[in-house]
Structure 1
Amino acid sequence: MAEQKGRTRRVGLTDSEVLKSRETHGANVLKTRKKKSFARRFFENLGDPVIRILLVALCVNLFFVFKGGDIAETVGIAISVFLAAFISALSEHGGENAFRRLSNECQNQKYRAVRNGALTPVPIEELVVGDIVLIEAGEKAPADGYVISGKISVDQSAITGESRETTKEPTQKREPSPSSRGTLLRGCTVLSGEAEMEVFAVGDESFLGKISIEVQTDTRESPLKIRLARLAKQISRLGYLAAALVALAFLFNCFVIDSGFAWELVRSKLTDVTYLLQKLLHAFMLGLTVVVVAVPDGYTFYN
């Protein structure tokens, strides 16, 4: 990498090209939207389909408690509803905070970009698509770019969740993907080495920018989440089948086996409305418990 007294063998963008690129592709700024409070996220999660079912079951159970029913089961349902909504809200809130911290880390920093044939300190928000940026150990990638010279080791865990060290160097095939050996994504930390990168995406169009928007607008569909959803759908079918079998087995035990297969006693139990409703509710809760335990992300229905 030829570099001497701020000069470089590369020409880079001219001032007019920088302005044109910024007009076409936008500035290198991550837009932030109004942050949702933890309380709002908590109450929004109470609208989840399964939690709604649990709330209905809780109300029905309260009715039986006033008629001398078991209060322990009612308390258990209430705790389940609270924990489900609380943990989900905590996860979403923490995820948004993490992305906000990551997007703010590089603010007010300057990077060395090739402009008009010279290495020039440029604030991160002024970098544009087409800029050639020199990046080295200790710095974070200021935008998405392709490595065009040099070789570096980077930590992509802030973006991909994978903690292993990854090598980045020039490649013939350019792919805007975290798995591509020649691609650097905004927010990645350079652990060692030095390289030049050519910026291909800035601001909200960067990989980090898109994830940040999805996190803030609750529409995130990462590749990992899509794969997990497919797997969850397959496992869910078995989970729902198991739940139905458990509920039916419980009812069969209550009405038939406990009656010693005496059909007169079975009929008397079936005509006792209070007893019937209690056992149906209990069977329903058993089945729902199986769904929560057996189905991945049990408090969410995957499409």
Structure 2
Amino acid sequence: MSTATPTRAPHSDVPTGHKDEGKVGAGLFDPKQLLKSLPDAFRKLDPRVMIKSPVMFVVLVGSVLTTVFSFKDPGDWFGWAISAWLWLTVIFANLAEAVAEGRGKAQADTLRKAKTDTVARRLSSDGMSEEEVPGTELRVGDLVVCEAGDIIPGDGDVVEGVASVDESAITGESAPVIRESGGDRSAVTGGTKVLSDRIVIKITTKPGETFIDRMIALVEGAARQKTPNEIALNILLASLTIVFLLAVATLPPFADYAGT
């Protein structure tokens, strides 16, 4: 049995014009995504939201103060330039966060649609006949058949056959992987697509506890826990911001003392 991993899916298994169907666009600067996320970026200017990010909250306060000072002295072009840069910094930071959230929600919607619309070909107890059932009705221990072009209806293990599987909807990796019965490459994930051959899958996860369900809950549920690196970086940035504020606050007294 061959164990070589192909680097490209066969052309006949991925019809032209359908390989990107149901996937979220990968472009960070997608104009449609930016326009859709722009209102969320402005809504995030609420101080009650910005206070959750101390560094950007300080930038927001600085933007408001420099804008007020610029209105007091309309002829000060430098003040207007600084105000513009600060506002752009805050808005683009919020826009980046809004785009990330929007892409996550779009991916969750795509996964939910795939989970709801998937039809499974369940084998009978004697293994001689098949019946089509919604993927949400599968139970642990059910055997389902998947052939080229089929969407795997649930998490499970391959118990018969070998096939190449497109897992880009889950992992983001465009190259297909080989899944076969036995060994450590038998596990398959619901929502992925079989590109070639025929496999029989034994469902191992209850409805509502699949990998797709966990991904959807991660996007729509509680806020993601920060990694140790993120926590350390936030502490460093907050500390440097405090040092910067102290340095700026001491400039006027030093200027008065120096008579400038």
TM-score by length of 2: 0.67
Q: Which moved more, 1:230-239 or 1:60-69?
A: 230-239
Deviations 1:114-168 (A, max 9, x none): 2332322222222122211111211111111111121111121211222222111
Partners of 2:181 and 2:158 in 1: CA distance: 5
Q: Which moved more, 1:70-79 or 1:52-61?
A: 52-61
> Identity across aligned pairs (percent)?
25
2:81 to 60, 63, 72: 72
**Cα distance change, pair 119–150 in 1 and its aligned pair in 2 (3 A):** same
Partners of 2:86 and 2:167 in 1: CA distance: 41
Structure of higher CA gyration radius:
1
Runs of 5+ consecutive residues of structure 1 not aligned to the other structure:
1-36, 173-179, 256-264, 273-303
Q: Is the 8 A contact 1:45 1:89 kept in 2?
A: no
Paired AA for residue 182 in structure 1: S
**Cα distance change, pair 157–109 in 1 and its aligned pair in 2 (3 A):** closer
What is aligned with 2:196? 192
Partners of 1:127 and 1:60 in 2: CA distance: 60
Partners of 1:150 and 1:61 in 2: CA distance: 68
Partners of 1:125 and 1:86 in 2: CA distance: 36
Partners of 2:259 and 2:217 in 1: CA distance: 56
Partners of 1:246 and 1:109 in 2: CA distance: 55
| 1:161 counterpart = 2:149 | no
| 1:58 counterpart = 2:63 | yes
What is aligned with 2:218? 214
Paired AA for residue 187 in structure 2: T
Partners of 1:191 and 1:88 in 2: CA distance: 35
What is aligned with 1:141? 152
Q: Which moved more, 1:148-157 or 1:112-121?
A: 112-121
Q: Is the 8 A contact 2:111 2:216 kept in 1?
A: no
Partners of 1:57 and 1:111 in 2: CA distance: 57
The alignment partner of 1:138 has SS state of coil
The alignment partner of 2:219 has SS state of helix
Partners of 2:64 and 2:231 in 1: CA distance: 29
What is aligned with 2:120? 111
Residue 230 of structure 1, CA deviation: 3.8
Q: Is the 8 A contact 1:155 1:163 kept in 2?
A: yes
Residue 105 of structure 1, CA deviation: 3.2
Paired AA for residue 153 in structure 1: S
What is aligned with 1:98? 107
The alignment partner of 1:159 has SS state of helix
Paired AA for residue 197 in structure 2: G
Deviations 1:162-191 (A, max 9, x none): 22221112235xxxxxxx522111111111
Paired AA for residue 143 in structure 1: G
What is aligned with 1:268? 256
Residue 67 of structure 1, CA deviation: 3.9
Partners of 1:214 and 1:197 in 2: CA distance: 26
Q: Is the 8 A contact 1:106 1:140 kept in 2?
A: no
The alignment partner of 1:130 has SS state of coil
Partners of 2:82 and 2:121 in 1: CA distance: 64
Partners of 2:159 and 2:42 in 1: CA distance: 46
The number of residue pairs the alignment matches comes to 213
2:186 to 176, 182, 189: 182
The alignment partner of 2:195 has SS state of strand
Partners of 2:237 and 2:177 in 1: CA distance: 38
Residue 219 of structure 1, CA deviation: 2.9
Partners of 1:89 and 1:182 in 2: CA distance: 38
1:122 to 119, 124, 133: 133
What is aligned with 2:10? none
Residue 64 of structure 1, CA deviation: 2.4
Partners of 2:224 and 2:235 in 1: CA distance: 24
